[in-house]
Structure 1
């Protein structure tokens, strides 16, 4: 069984917590607001539009139906699917849930199987892959409105990305990709944005070394790719 999940949070720091959960299992959808145990800052509300007033009467994660559902599915034979799975897994870990099954990270798989795209965010893929052509009918099946950065809406778009990826590779291959590093070919941002990392490693290795030393929150696949091409340039 696949558990497709998306969470919204109070932020991206170590102290931040879940304030919303969206899930899909066996064509059943679930959404729940969660009291995070701390204030939701305006910067986070500006993204997902969840306010402190909205979660005032919501359960803590430990007391939520979401936690009960996830724990019930947390078994080696089940697969958790998420767009940027390390983030969801880290947030669940903070709540005491260590996922036991396999993982499909649709973000990592998209990078690996479609390495020539200009971006890989969920909303970018929504348009790049033309998911918008079918999304209205798909969302209507579940009675869910299309609202970017709403946990359930994002979970449904993750389902659509997964379905697209399954035309490129089978489940076992997606799981394998999700376990490994993806070797990126182009730098996604900075003064050399869209340039080949291999060429930058030859022409300006100091810039790549600076990125590795200075950007502590850099994507793990980008860090791996920079290290790889720097080693090859020696």
Structure 2
């Protein structure tokens, strides 16, 4: 009998007509798998792929200017409900899905389409693992970290579904080999823990430990859930519990 195929985490990237359904739709989906090897390490698996999707509405010029997908290119493409399940649910090997800022993909990749798969958000995990990165976009991480083995040309053009999924897969591979899937899933299940203040003003760019109690109090009421979550975590630290910023080796496990 041949050995069983390795477990995979499938990285997904979507190009869409806008921010979210039902007003907007998907016009391209890309994917790249990361697989658990016999030696216990995670590696890029297979060639990945992409499919154009008919979004069921015209693509606004604002979003065409980002991904450059034309209406005539998707006019004869299948609709989302005809494409999504086969890409999102490669049963039985897939144990999770992943995306950079996965909250966006999850708007379109609903639970029925994914069969309830858990998600890893590489953006949230990068905040924890690589807090010294100047910023945490997919492309900044790519050029700041220079992941081993990445073929530069396969990650281009940016803002197309397969190249972006390909780049994200290398970030995911390195994260998995550093802390494992359980920790990444745990971090992904809560808002992002920001290593620096991102709001405009005199505290912008400071670590959270540096800001005053008055500034922290303002951040606790911020409309951004990641800012609020980080402020709450810093408040807990000041009161004797919780961790913010770069976790210690032991702190990565909790």
TM interval, shorter chain, is 0.7 to 0.9
Q: CA RMSD in A?
A: 2.8
Choose the corresponding residue for 2:231, options 214, 226, 229: 226
Tell whether 2:16 aligns with 1:5: no
Provide the secondary structure at the position in 2 that maps to 1:2: strand
* TM-score normalised according to structure 1 size: 0.80
The answer to whether the Cα contact below 8 Å between 1:20 and 1:33 also exists between their aligned partners in 2 is yes
Choose the corresponding residue for 2:25, options 7, 12, 17: 17
5 Å-filtered alignment, 1:51-62, equals: 51-62=70-81
Give the Å deviation of 1:103.
2.2
2:252 — aligned with what? none
Give the Å deviation of 1:81.
1.5
Whole-angstrom distance in 2 between the partners of 1:98 and 1:63? 13
Please give the per-residue CA displacement for 1:9-54, whole angstroms capped at 9, x wherever unaligned. Answer: 1111442221110012341412111111112111111111112122
Unpaired runs of 5+ residues, structure 2, are 1-7, 34-44, 240-254
Please give the per-residue CA displacement for 1:76-115, whole angstroms capped at 9, x wherever unaligned. Answer: 9621121111211121129x52442332211111111122
Choose the corresponding residue for 1:106, options 113, 122, 136: 122
Whole-angstrom distance in 2 between the partners of 1:145 and 1:180? 29
5 Å-filtered alignment, 1:1-234, equals: 1-14=8-21, 15-25=23-33, 26-64=45-83, 66-73=84-91, 78-93=95-110, 96-131=112-147, 134-136=149-151, 144=154, 146-191=156-201, 192-205=203-216, 207-208=218-219, 212-213=222-223, 218=224, 220-229=225-234
Whole-angstrom distance in 1 between the partners of 2:189 and 2:59? 32
Aligned residues: 219
Whole-angstrom distance in 2 between the partners of 1:151 and 1:77? 19
The answer to whether the Cα contact below 8 Å between 1:76 and 1:102 also exists between their aligned partners in 2 is no
Whole-angstrom distance in 2 between the partners of 1:204 and 1:149? 36
Provide the secondary structure at the position in 2 that maps to 1:195: coil
Whole-angstrom distance in 2 between the partners of 1:85 and 1:69? 16
Please give the per-residue CA displacement for 1:157-198, whole angstroms capped at 9, x wherever unaligned. Answer: 011111222342122222222223443231124223212334
Unpaired runs of 5+ residues, structure 1, are none
The answer to whether the Cα contact below 8 Å between 2:124 and 2:193 also exists between their aligned partners in 1 is no
Whole-angstrom distance in 2 between the partners of 1:171 and 1:10? 31
The answer to whether the Cα contact below 8 Å between 1:185 and 1:198 also exists between their aligned partners in 2 is no
Whole-angstrom distance in 2 between the partners of 1:233 and 1:114? 23
The answer to whether the Cα contact below 8 Å between 1:118 and 1:194 also exists between their aligned partners in 2 is no
Please give the per-residue CA displacement for 1:130-163, whole angstroms capped at 9, x wherever unaligned. Answer: 23x74327x6xxxx46211110000100111112
Provide the secondary structure at the position in 2 that maps to 1:156: helix
Whole-angstrom distance in 2 between the partners of 1:23 and 1:189? 33
